[in-house]
């Protein structure tokens, strides 16, 4: 076996990224840019959305909630997808960055999930006359929230970091399969109340450009925010992991 | 005594989030029922207070075996029994720790979860009040049941079986008060009964529970 | 102060295991309990500790004088060494855990969670608990299980200084602890299942 | 400030909650990052010192 | 393998009636709900298939930690892992033993308990069929969850939290099929989906569960 | 047949505990592992038994040759002595439990439930399990804990006859078993936390 745990292959340029040193170095360099991108997209997008959009006929001024609801709902789902990929990287390649990035992303995903749930509920009250309905999209989203909770609870419950990484990765994979399955189950079980795919290019459903343009800006912004947060938090996790190793060593030296 | 309370709370928090898990289970039960019953808002609203009470009760129930079982298994219960603490005091402290980590969070969360069940305005308030009055009884009765089953290998289900009938009066008055309150009817009688049960249970069951433990460890 | 036992009979699982035990343990002394596996040493110690009632006989001991150390250590896996010990100190109304940590060479492990200790380290922590109880009479059930030679030495030192300071110890063990002590072999006191006094007539009181 | 009409409450609370939660998350992440960096630096320093004293 | 199955069944029976307790819990849940919801026959009949499914699911859930936890605590899991049995096989056998002691009795009892909930004629048959098809999936998913949490002190509530979302699809299709069947509507689609889930779960999850156990005991 | 270990490093809780172990155990021999509490004997045995992966190095052993006896006995409290033993016999594909019962003097207890055994009786049952595995290499972790002198003798006899019949045993223990055996002290192989090769630069895979 070579000194590094990973053997080398054609994809090495990609895996280099997952080397903790490289990762720290690269993200250290990239972080100011990502934060900058977040600032120049998210803030103008939100300001534009809040101050400079007209009232819609059906929604009135409540349409402005779209700028917080839709980006966070989208990122909540995408964050889980990112965690799935990162977990697979850990299981297959044993790169710590994979597992730790997944761990770092989970709380971000949960916060976005909570925001989407709360803003959706607040929006639902005037629009549908109810805070909550057992609509397929809402319901499957709630199940996703439960998966996030379980995933984080499992991380918190296990002491040994590598064991925790392994088990949570297994859970992320099995959970993803069931999350998709739930989506179909819920669809079958009930017809929807929730908005359709209004961002699609399908002419009928498409929202007017006045709403669409700032929304795109906030969507880009929220992606940048997610990347920035995951970078920061993964760096923290890597440091903690390293700290854990050092403390173990220290303990061994004492004993 | 305080040392025991502090230790139990600390153990609950360390064991991967003692607070969170009871809550999460409660949330899940309130979520599962609509899945099973179907999503019609009206049916849901009708059964909401009852289901919330059942959910809180089950969440309580699942965490009961924590109260004494772990201490029994690792031998600390034997050591506590030989320590200068009255066993009755230990029982009360442990029931209190259980309530703080389970009953209280459940009470605080129930109004929010009511929304998922399509509950209407004054209902939230009443589910909160009834749970606040009723959950201490659940913890204390649970501690008694846990004391009875502490010697048994994996007494979990047996514990449920023993405790659930004892929970019935609390459940009936609690759910009744919550339902009436939500519908704007008079609630004094069931609330008084509920408070009476809690007071009686907290006054007398510690002695029974302590006796059960002494018998179980000998 | 002394622990007196007169004509004691003890039972386990509804079956008498030892009968007619009589002995006295005064402070400043150590008594070693010996006897083959299953002869009833654990049962005797549990009875003396008040965890189960005796079948017959009398146990005389000053109240609040006993500290019991069982087969199991009663450690909480998620608490650290210091937290485990502090808890017991507070239960027994004492405060200082430093001497106990020092005596059993646990200072280096003080912030380790108990579940990450090896078998012998756990045992040392279990024994350190005795020191924070402040009790005179130690009842110990195979205290040196899993301990290496050095730790057995630490334990023997602890017992010696406890006894020198006016304490006493009753220790069930299978190995030689190197302590100056009297020995009590429980084998001769084994309960005789067919002794006539306990079966006056068939079915009459003949349930133990 | 645009006139939000009868939806003022909904819009403002939705935005308020969202901004609060995001800021809380950012703040928490930042603080954890600072704490972890500080702790790690201290630990690395101790490790380096220990390595040296062992050699001596 | 057969030795393991026999041992697990024997242990379940010895441990104070493995069969009886799951059933008793199921009975109590179906009894508590009418207490909490109120006794109107029509509401009850409407929610009956759903509540029966939830009750079966919770009864299943409560007995899950038995699957591996005891073996882990007393060290037999370590010894089994070094024995000439593939871990996947052990997982399947243990899930099967769990189903035989929990899922199967629940299935047989559900039609009878339906009467308590004021259930009408074809409903009994359909609750039986759907539980028969669905409960094996519950046992297998539960074994996976138990494998994930086996190393954790008192992982009971965490186990529930992890497993319940995984149960959602089974619950939806099962309860939907039971409700439709009871109302005389077409049930082919949900029944097929339910069978598909069970088949998929039994085919794939043993590998994930075995991996989780190997990770947990190392 | 032999068990060979080359340059083995083992870790517990993410921390290396023993490094660079090399030894060979051939059938017909006994190797006693010694080392103070917490030195890593349990960790080594678990690694050899295949319960955890080694950190580095090579373990060579014939497949299906090992029987592991841990700190815990893996007994089911509600099953009787005979049922417990029969279960393990069937798992290992053997059938006859009589010799094992006889060897450890358990015939009189065969129908007792395991929970009603004393500490030493439980241990004897745990050891009897080894005989029904039919495996050549026994890896035993402090097998004589709680045993009295006579039972230690029974155990030593069992090991002797196993070895004479072409078996081998690797035994971690703190006491003298009276066996003719080589001894391996693990203390010199303790992992050095500051070995430079494990700390190349900060973060460079330096997580153990
Ligand atoms: C608690 C209630 C709600 C929840 C949990 C919720 C959840 C979601 C989710 C998960 C998405 C999908 C994001 C994606 O796939 O990228 C979404 C999108 C959306 N939601 Fe909601 N929502 C809720 C209430 C509402 C309400 C009341 C409205 C407006 C009346 C609304 C309007 C929208 C719109 C316009 C989209 C974008 C649709 C698209 O382009 O795909 N939502 N929401
Ligand atoms: N729960 C029980 N039910 C019935 N009999 C029991 C029970 N526990 C122990 N026994 C029996 O009681 C007798 C005394 O057991 P005890 O544990 O006191 O022995 P011991 O002297 O401590 O032995 P050891 O040295 O092996 O620990 C034994 O023969 C044992 O088999
Ligand atoms: N779960 C764990 N996490 C972290 N460290 C651990 C864990 N279990 C054991 N250790 C540590 O690993 C080291 C080796 O432990 P091990 O159990 O192998 O020792 P041992 O030689 O068997 O000791 P004993 O003779 O006391 O049984 C010890 O220092 C112990 O504190
Ligand atoms: Mg004993
Ligand atoms: Mg050991």
Of B22, B155, B161, the CB nearest to E24: B161
Mean residue pLDDT across chain B? 86
Task: Dig out the tokens for B96 from the structure.
Answer: 């209190």
Total-model pTM: 0.87
Report CB contact under 8 Å: F15, A21: no
CATH number 3.30.420.40 is the correct assignment for the domain at C2-189: no
**Mean of pLDDT values over B82-105:** 90
Report CB contact under 8 Å: E32, B43: no
**Mean of pLDDT values over B76-82:** 86
How far, CA to CA in Å, does A216 sit from each of A50, A210, B173, F54?
A: 14, 11, 53, 52
**Centre of ligand 4 from the C-alpha of residue C71, in Å:** 7
Q: Is A200 left (phi over 0), alpha (psi -120 to 50) or beta?
A: beta
State the pLDDT at residue A162. 87
Start-to-end Cα distance in chain B: 23
Residue F120 Cβ contacting ligand 2 at under 6 Å: yes
The helix/strand count (H/E) of chain C reads as 5, 8
| Chain segment A167-184, per-residue pLDDT in tens | 999 999 999 999 998 888
Protein residues near ligand 5, an ion, with CB under 5 A = C 119; F 42
Q: Give the span between the Cα atoms of B127 and F106, in whole angstroms.
A: 60
Task: Dig out the tokens for F135 from the structure.
Answer: 């495996």
**Centre of ligand 4 from the C-alpha of residue C42, in Å:** 4
For residue F164, give the H/E element and its range: helix F149-164
**Domains of chain A with CATH codes:** 23-254 (1.20.120)
| Chain segment E81-101, per-residue pLDDT in tens | 888 889 999 999 999 999 998
Chains E and B touch (3+ CB pairs under 8 A): yes
Q: Which chain F residues contact residue C73 at CB under 8 A? A: none
Q: Give the span between the Cα atoms of E26 and E116, in whole angstroms.
A: 12
Query: What residues does ligand 1 touch, defined as CB less than 6 Å away?
Result: A 66, 69-70, 73-74, 77, 116-117, 120-121, 123-124, 127-128, 132, 137-138, 141, 194-195, 197-199
State the pLDDT at residue F201. 47
State the pLDDT at residue C95. 84
Per-residue pLDDT at A1 exceeds 70: no
Chains contacting D with at least 3 CB pairs below 8 Å? A, F
Report CB contact under 8 Å: D50, F194: yes
Closest Cα in chain F to D46? F194
Q: Which chain C residues contact residue B216 at CB under 8 A? A: none
What angle do the packed helices E87-98 and E121-149 form, to 10 degrees? 140
- Which DSSP string corresponds to F86-103? HHHHHHTT----HHHHHH
Which of E171, E215, E216 is most worth mutating to test chain A (most A CB atoms within 10 A of its CB)?
E215
**Mean of pLDDT values over F151-159:** 92
Nearest alpha carbon, ligand 1 atom 13: A74
State the pLDDT at residue A254. 67
Task: Dig out the tokens for B162 from the structure.
Answer: 């023993």
**Mean of pLDDT values over C92-117:** 88
State the pLDDT at residue C200. 42
**Mean of pLDDT values over A209-230:** 91
B17 close contact with A: CB closer than 8 A:
yes
Task: Count how many residues are written for chain F.
Answer: 208
Q: Give the span between the Cα atoms of B198 and E3, in whole angstroms.
A: 49
For residue B71, give the H/E element and its range: helix B69-73
Closest Cα in chain F to E9? F79
Q: Which long-range CB contacts under 8 A does B209-212 form with residues at least 24 apart?
A: B209/B88, B209/B91, B209/B143, B209/B144, B209/B146, B209/B147, B209/B148, B210/B86, B210/B87, B210/B88, B210/B90, B210/B91, B210/B147, B212/B144, B212/B147, B212/B148, B212/B150
**Centre of ligand 4 from the C-alpha of residue F89, in Å:** 27
State the pLDDT at residue A197. 57
Report CB contact under 8 Å: A133, B41: yes
Q: Which long-range CB contacts under 8 A does A103-106 form with residues at least 24 apart?
A: A103/A155, A103/A165, A103/A168, A103/A237, A104/A230, A104/A233, A104/A234, A104/A236, A104/A237, A105/A79, A105/A226, A105/A230, A105/A233, A105/A234, A106/A79, A106/A148, A106/A151, A106/A152, A106/A155
For residue F171, what pLDDT band results from cuts at 50, 70 and 90?
A: very high
- Among C116, C127, C144, which residue has the most ligand 3 atoms within 8 Å of its CB, making it the best to mutate? C116
State the pLDDT at residue A33. 94
**Mean of pLDDT values over B147-158:** 76
How does pLDDT run along chain E (218 residues), one tens digit per residue? 788 888 888 888 776 555 677 788 888 888 888 888 877 777 788 888 888 999 999 888 878 877 888 888 888 898 988 888 899 999 999 999 999 988 999 999 999 888 888 788 788 889 999 999 999 999 999 999 999 998 786 667 788 889 989 999 999 999 989 988 888 888 888 899 999 999 999 999 999 999 999 998 88
Which of E82, E89, E94, E214 is most worth mutating to test chain F (most F CB atoms within 10 A of its CB)?
E82
State the pLDDT at residue A5. 41
Q: What is the 3-state secondary structure (H, E, C) of A10-45?
A: CCHHHHHHHCHHHHHHHHHHHHHHHHHHHHHHHHHH
Determine the 3-state secondary structure of F146 from DSSP: coil
Report CB contact under 8 Å: B32, E54: yes
Domains of chain D: total? 1
Per-residue pLDDT at C51 exceeds 90: no
Q: Give the span between the Cα atoms of E89 and E95, in whole angstroms.
A: 10
Please give the DSSP secondary-structure letter assigned to residue F208: -
Task: Dig out the tokens for F2 from the structure.
Answer: 């032999």
State the pLDDT at residue E153. 67
Taking the CA of residue C108 and the nearest CA in chain A, the distance in Å comes to 6
Please give the DSSP secondary-structure letter assigned to residue F50: T
| Chain segment A66-97, per-residue pLDDT in tens | 899 999 999 999 999 999 999 999 998 888 88
State the pLDDT at residue D31. 95
Q: Is C137 left (phi over 0), alpha (psi -120 to 50) or beta?
A: beta
Report CB contact under 8 Å: A158, E197: no
**Mean of pLDDT values over F26-54:** 91
Short-list A236, A234, A96, CA closest to A166: A96
State the pLDDT at residue D17. 93
State the pLDDT at residue C195. 60
**CA R_g for chain A:** 21
| Chain segment E167-188, per-residue pLDDT in tens | 999 999 999 899 888 888 888 8
Q: Give the span between the Cα atoms of B49 and B30, in whole angstroms.
A: 10
Range of the domain at D29: 4-55
Per-residue pLDDT at A221 exceeds 60: yes
State the pLDDT at residue A115. 96
Question: Which residues are within 8 A (CB) of A137 and not within 5 positions of it... i.e. 6 or more apart?
Answer: A192, A194
Which of E65, E141, E148 is most worth mutating to test chain A (most A CB atoms within 10 A of its CB)?
E148
Task: Dig out the tokens for B178 from the structure.
Answer: 């919550």
Report CB contact under 8 Å: A182, E215: no
- What backbone phi and psi angles, to 5 degrees, belong to C191? -65, 140
- Which DSSP string corresponds to A82-105? HHHHHHHHHHHH--HHHHHHHHHH
A35 close contact with E: CB closer than 8 A:
no
Looking at the DSSP assignment, which residues form a beta bridge with residue F91? none
Beta strands at C2-12 and C66-69: parallel, antiparallel or unpaired: unpaired
- What backbone phi and psi angles, to 5 degrees, belong to F8? -75, 135
Report CB contact under 8 Å: F194, D44: no
Q: Give the span between the Cα atoms of D32 and D41, in whole angstroms.
A: 14
For residue C199, what pLDDT band results from cuts at 50, 70 and 90?
A: very low
State the pLDDT at residue A201. 41
- Hey, what's the torsion of the CAs at E60, E64, E67, E70, to 10 degrees? -130
**Please, are residues B99 and B141 in contact by the beta-carbon 8 Å criterion?**
no
The residue extents of the domains of chain C are 2-189
**Please, are residues C83 and C114 in contact by the beta-carbon 8 Å criterion?**
no
Longest Cα separation, chain C: 63
**Please, are residues A79 and A114 in contact by the beta-carbon 8 Å criterion?**
no
The residue extents of the domains of chain B are 2-216
Per-residue pLDDT at C171 exceeds 60: yes
Q: Give the span between the Cα atoms of A124 and C47, in whole angstroms.
A: 67
Residue F149 Cβ contacting ligand 2 at under 6 Å: no
Lowest pLDDT segment from D32-41, F63-72, F158-167? F63-72
A199 close contact with D: CB closer than 8 A:
no
Closest Cα in chain E to A139? E168
Of F56, F191, F203, the CB nearest to A242: F203
Per-residue pLDDT at D49 exceeds 90: no
- Among F116, F125, F148, F151, which residue has the most ligand 2 atoms within 8 Å of its CB, making it the best to mutate? F116
Q: How many contacts, defined by CB atoms under 8 Å, are there between A and C?
A: 8
State the pLDDT at residue B117. 82
Short-list E40, A130, A117, CA closest to B121: A130
Per-residue pLDDT at C193 exceeds 50: yes
- Atom of ligand 1 lying closest to residue A124 CA: 27
**Mean of pLDDT values over F125-145:** 91
**Mean of pLDDT values over B28-35:** 86
A68 close contact with D: CB closer than 8 A:
yes
**Please, are residues F132 and F97 in contact by the beta-carbon 8 Å criterion?**
yes
State the pLDDT at residue E41. 76
Residue C37 Cβ contacting ligand 2 at under 6 Å: yes
Number of Cβ atoms within 10 Å of the Cβ of C60: 10
Task: Dig out the tokens for A130 from the structure.
Answer: 């109810």
For residue A9, what pLDDT band results from cuts at 50, 70 and 90?
A: low
Please return the burial class of A137, using the count of CB atoms within 10 Å of its CB with bins 0-12, 13-18 and 19+. middle
Q: The complex's ipTM?
A: 0.85
Per-residue pLDDT at C204 exceeds 50: no
B74 close contact with C: CB closer than 8 A:
yes
Number of Cβ atoms within 10 Å of the Cβ of F166: 10
Closest Cα in chain A to D41? A243
Q: What is the 3-state secondary structure (H, E, C) of E184-195?
A: CCCCHHHHHHHH
Q: Which ligand is nearest to the CA of A73?
A: 1
For residue F123, what pLDDT band results from cuts at 50, 70 and 90?
A: very high
Which of B74, B152, B153 is most worth mutating to test chain F (most F CB atoms within 10 A of its CB)?
B153
Nearest alpha carbon, ligand 1 atom 10: A73
């Amino acid at each position: 076996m070579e000194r590094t745990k990973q053997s080398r292959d054609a994809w090495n340029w990609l895996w280099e990224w997952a080397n903790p040193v490289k990762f720290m170095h690269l993200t250290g360099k990239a972080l100011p840019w990502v934060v900058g991108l977040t600032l120049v997209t998210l803030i103008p997008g939100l300001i534009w959305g809040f101050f400079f959009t007209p009232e819609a006929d059906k929604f009135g001024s409540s349409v402005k909630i779209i700028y917080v609801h839709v980006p966070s709902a989208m990122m909540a789902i995408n964050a889980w997808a990112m965690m799935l990929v990162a977990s697979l990287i850990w299981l297959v390649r044993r790169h710590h960055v994979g597992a730790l990035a997944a761990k770092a992303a989970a709380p971000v995903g949960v916060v976005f999930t909570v925001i989407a749930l709360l803003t959706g509920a607040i929006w639902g009250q005037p629009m549908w006359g109810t805070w909550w309905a057992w609509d397929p999209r809402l319901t499957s989203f709630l199940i996703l929230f439960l998966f996030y909770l379980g995933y984080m609870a499992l991380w918190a419950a296990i002491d040994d970091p590598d064991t925790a990484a392994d088990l949570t990765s297994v859970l992320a994979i099995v959970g993803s399969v069931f999350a998709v399955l739930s989506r179909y189950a819920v669809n079958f079980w009930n017809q929807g109340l929730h908005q359709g795919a209004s961002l699609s290019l399908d002419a009928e459903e498409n929202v007017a450009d006045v709403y669409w343009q700032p929304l795109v800006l906030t969507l880009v912004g929220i992606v940048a925010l997610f990347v920035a947060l995951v970078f920061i938090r993964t760096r923290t996790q890597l440091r903690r992991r390293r700290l854990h190793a050092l403390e173990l060593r220290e303990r061994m030296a004492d004993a | 005594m305080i040392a025991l309370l502090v230790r139990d709370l600390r153990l609950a928090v360390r064991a991967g989030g003692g607070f969170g898990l009871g809550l999460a289970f409660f949330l899940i039960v309130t979520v599962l029922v609509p899945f099973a019953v179907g999503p019609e808002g009206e049916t849901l609203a009708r059964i909401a207070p009852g289901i919330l009470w059942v959910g809180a009760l089950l969440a309580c129930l699942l965490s009961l075996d924590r109260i004494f079982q772990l201490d029994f298994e690792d031998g600390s219960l034997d050591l506590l029994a030989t320590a200068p603490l009255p066993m009755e005091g230990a029982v009360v402290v442990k029931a209190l720790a259980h309530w703080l980590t389970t009953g209280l969070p459940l009470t605080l969360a129930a109004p929010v979860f009511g929304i998922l069940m399509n509950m209407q305005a004054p209902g939230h308030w009443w589910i909160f009040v009834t749970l606040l009055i009723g959950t201490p009884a659940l913890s204390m009765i649970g501690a008694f049941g846990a004391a009875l089953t502490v010697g048994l290998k994996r007494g979990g289900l047996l514990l449920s079986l023993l405790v659930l009938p004892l929970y019935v009066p609390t459940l009936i008055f609690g759910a009744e008060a919550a339902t009436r309150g939500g519908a704007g009817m008079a609630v004094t009688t069931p609330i008084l009964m509920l408070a009476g049960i809690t007071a009686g249970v907290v006054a007398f069951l510690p002695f029974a529970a302590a006796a059960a433990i002494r018998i179980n460890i000998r | 102060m002394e622990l007196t036992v007169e004509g004691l009979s003890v039972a386990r699982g509804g079956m008498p295991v030892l009968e007619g035990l009589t002995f006295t343990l005064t402070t400043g002394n150590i008594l070693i309990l010996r006897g083959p596996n299953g002869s009833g040493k654990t049962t005797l110690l549990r009875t003396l500790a008040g965890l189960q009632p005796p079948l017959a006989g009398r146990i005389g001991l000053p109240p609040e004088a006993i500290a019991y150390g069982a087969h199991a250590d009663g450690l909480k896996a998620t608490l650290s060494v210091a937290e485990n010990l502090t808890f017991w100190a507070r239960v027994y109304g004492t405060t200082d855990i430093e001497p106990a940590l020092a005596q059993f060479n646990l200072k280096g492990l003080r912030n380790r969670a108990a579940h990450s200790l090896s078998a012998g380290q756990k045992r040392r922590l279990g024994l350190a608990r005795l020191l924070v109880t402040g009790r005179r009479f130690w009842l110990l059930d195979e205290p040196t299980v899993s301990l290496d030679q050095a730790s057995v030495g630490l334990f023997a030192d602890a017992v010696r200084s406890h006894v020198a300071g006016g304490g006493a110890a009753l220790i069930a063990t299978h190995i030689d602890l190197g302590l100056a002590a009297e020995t009590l072999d429980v084998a001769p006191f084994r309960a005789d299942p067919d002794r006539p006094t306990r079966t006056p007539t068939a079915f009459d009181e003949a349930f133990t | 400030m645009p006139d939000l009409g009868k939806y003022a409450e909904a819009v403002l609370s939705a935005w308020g909650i969202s901004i609060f939660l995001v800021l809380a998350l950012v703040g928490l992440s930042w603080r954890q990052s600072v704490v972890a960096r500080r702790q790690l630096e201290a630990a690395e320093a101790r490790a380096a010192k220990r390595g040296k004293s062992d050699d001596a």
